């Protein structure tokens, strides 16, 4: 995963915890997950539109 090891991930998690606080982490994760879900659904919608608009041979 992006060439990151366990130690690097722990350091990143510690920095994020310090910046946002432990109480905000669940809210931050939830917002991130919703954003990713919306992004994926938007891409899937665009693919479906292109398939419908494509001329048939």
For position 43, what pLDDT does the model report? 94
The pLDDT of residue 4: 81
pLDDT at 56: 65
pLDDT along the chain (57 residues), means of 10: 82 90 88 95 91 73
> What is the C-alpha to C-alpha distance for residues 55 and 13, in angstroms, rounded to an integer?
49
In contact, 40 and 33? CB cutoff 8 Å = no
**CA nearest 13: which of 5, 39, 33, 37?**
5
Q: How many CB atoms lie under 10 A from the CB of residue 16?
A: 13
Q: How far apart are CA 27 and CA 7, in angstroms?
A: 24
25 CB neighbour count, 10 Å cutoff:
13
pTM, rounded to two decimals: 0.59
Q: What is the pLDDT of residue 52?
A: 83
């Amino acid at each position: 995963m992006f060439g990151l090891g366990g130690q690097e991930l722990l350091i990143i998690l510690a920095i994020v915890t310090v910046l946002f606080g432990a109480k905000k982490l669940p809210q931050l994760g939830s917002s991130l997950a919703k954003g990713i879900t919306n992004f994926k659904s938007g891409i899937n919608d665009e693919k479906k539109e292109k398939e419908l608009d494509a001329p048939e041979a």
